[in-house]
Amino acid sequence: MTSLAEEAARRRTFAVIAHPDAGKSTLTEALALHAHVISEAGAVHGKAGRKATVSDWMEMEKDRGISIASSALQFEYQPEGHDGEPYMINLVDTPGHADFSEDTYRVLTAVDAAVMLVDGAKGLEPQTLKLFRVCKTNGIPIVTVINKWDRPGKAPLELMDEIVAEIGLQPTPLYWPVGEAGDFRGLLERGEDGEAKQFIGFERTAGGATIASERHLSPESAAAEQGDAWETAAEESELLSADGADHDQEMYLAGDTSPVIFASAMLNWGVHQILDTLCELAPAPAARESDPAAVEAASASGQAAIAEKREPTDEFSGVVFKVQAGMDAHHRDKLAFMRVVSGEFDRGMQVTHAQSGRSFSTKYALTVFGRTRSTVETAFPGDIVGLVNAGSLAPGDTIYSGHKVQFKPMPQFAPEHFRTLRAKSLGKYKQFRKAIDQLDAEGVVQILRNDARGDAAPVMAAVGPMQFEVMMARMENEYNVETVAEPIPYSVARRTDEETAPELAKQRGVEIFTRSDGALIALFGDKWKLSFIEKEHPEFTLETLVAD
């Protein structure tokens, strides 16, 4: 029997973040392939004759070749030369499109590390920068992967300079490319002070569907075989060391540096180096700070744990970071994805929902691999568990056993797009209401209501307009309700209070709504209207809706 501490120590829980089309889902599959949990990768989305990726299961995702919902994959991995128990990998593939950044933010609250995937031709893109800032704010260390090196792109040193200039993160390459972008010959493994340890060459496989075999050469043999390409890589590696670009574990964990690996997820080149690096360098699950204000009745040991910003390690606690329904047409259920924070989770155990104080049994608990489900009996810190039809769980909720603990709530992003939604057929009203409530609980969009519009035409509020398409597609496919979305003349939202709302509602170009969590939300026609009201009525409560 292994101890709780030993089980936690072998967990690695991380997310893959990037701009759209950087290859996140392709990399996710490649990682699963190298862990031998799938036998063949279906790498490319939307291409005739190719398989859909294991992590993309929505029809919209397959049709458009993008990730819309985050997907959790769990598998064991044994690095070469590692004699102990295999590592347990909890990998979360996240949406790359900016319209779904709120879903990605939720995922980043549930992981211990991140892989920042950068397109070798495009470099750092806007969504990548935004997600990096979220990681930085939450203290999540980052491993950078320069992807698509088999295609023409930027010079490797130029990409390193870009990372320093754009995000102030010092890249510390562990593996340096031999051959320029588009002429990917293999990797130079860097040692101390930029010393070239060895050359790693890869063999192409048909369509990159299977693991690429490797061959390893000494620096002398690599110089003889690769010629100028090797000499250039070795010189650049030494230049990096002269610039201080060598790995330092403390600086990496502090978020000041980022190990870098060059790869081609499509060809499966450099992929097992990514997995090995995460196992060796990424942090194991750590304690999470509680919200002391929410734990008034905690016991003495619970209060002590809160004061020390840790959880009692022998007691179970977990945080819900995502709720998802419709993952399988054969299972009309709802999955609440929970990250185990402390203690041991056992299927069937009685837990308490911190927000409501209600107790419930966890009889139906699953691990999820794409759309494939399997019952989980036990889980440990860092693991992600799907709880089936677990009452009223919502993103940000805490569940626990023993002393009360409650983690800080998950902030919601400020919506910038608004549409009314109604059913095409009045006869579908009951299904319409049910679908609205369930998809609202998942956080697909924010639902706003007021008496004037009624329940038949609530307002959808979203970060990006593609969220409306997902909402409508899921209502039709999962609930058999066709809907119509219509724009309304608002573009700015602010949180207000009961004292301000009556007077604010009298202003032209303003409408007051109640969000599902009870918050009062004021919508304004544009930022100039908001600015005018703020100037004329400084006494009004108007708070920005942004993620902390």
Residue 529 vs residues 113, 252, 511, 532: alpha-carbon distances, Å: 42, 45, 12, 5
Smallest CA-to-CA distance from 290 within 300, 282, 298 is with: 298
- Is 97 marked as a binding-site residue? yes
Displacement of CA 452 from its chain's centroid (Å): 37
* Separation between Cα atoms, residue 337 and residue 522, nearest integer Å: 31
Helix (H) or strand (E) holding 25: helix 24-34
CB burial of 186-203 (b: ≥16 within 10 Å; e: otherwise) equals: bbbbbeeebebebbbbbe
- Is 28 marked as a binding-site residue? no
**Sequence-separated (6 or more) residues with CB below 8 Å from residue 511:** 450, 452, 490, 505, 522, 523
Rg of the chain over Cα atoms, rounded to whole angstroms, equals 25
* Separation between Cα atoms, residue 98 and residue 92, nearest integer Å: 17
Helix (H) or strand (E) holding 462: strand 459-462
Smallest CA-to-CA distance from 256 within 135, 159, 155 is with: 135
Tell me how many degrees the CA angle 188-194-195 measures, rounded to the nearest 5.
Answer: 70
Contact 258, 143 (CB under 8 A): yes
Helix (H) or strand (E) holding 274: helix 271-281
- Sign of the CA dihedral running 61, 66, 69, 75: positive
Contact 12, 73 (CB under 8 A): no
* Separation between Cα atoms, residue 223 and residue 474, nearest integer Å: 56
Single-letter amino acid, residue 283: P
- Sign of the CA dihedral running 102, 104, 106, 108: negative
* Separation between Cα atoms, residue 513 and residue 494, nearest integer Å: 10
* Separation between Cα atoms, residue 343 and residue 315, nearest integer Å: 5
Q: How many residues does the chain have?
A: 548
User: Would you list the DSSP string of 296-348?
Assistant: TT--HHHHHHHHTT---TTS-EEEEEEEEE-SBTTB--EEEEEEEEES-EETT
- Is 94 marked as a binding-site residue? yes
- Sign of the CA dihedral running 303, 304, 307, 311: negative
- Is 417 marked as a binding-site residue? no
**Which contacts of 298-307 are long-range, i.e. CB under 8 A and separated by 24 or more positions?**
298/403, 298/404, 298/405, 299/403, 301/403, 302/403, 302/404, 302/405, 305/403, 305/405, 306/405
- Is 291 marked as a binding-site residue? no
Per the annotation, where are the binding residues? 93-97
Per the annotation, where are the binding residues for GTP? 93-97
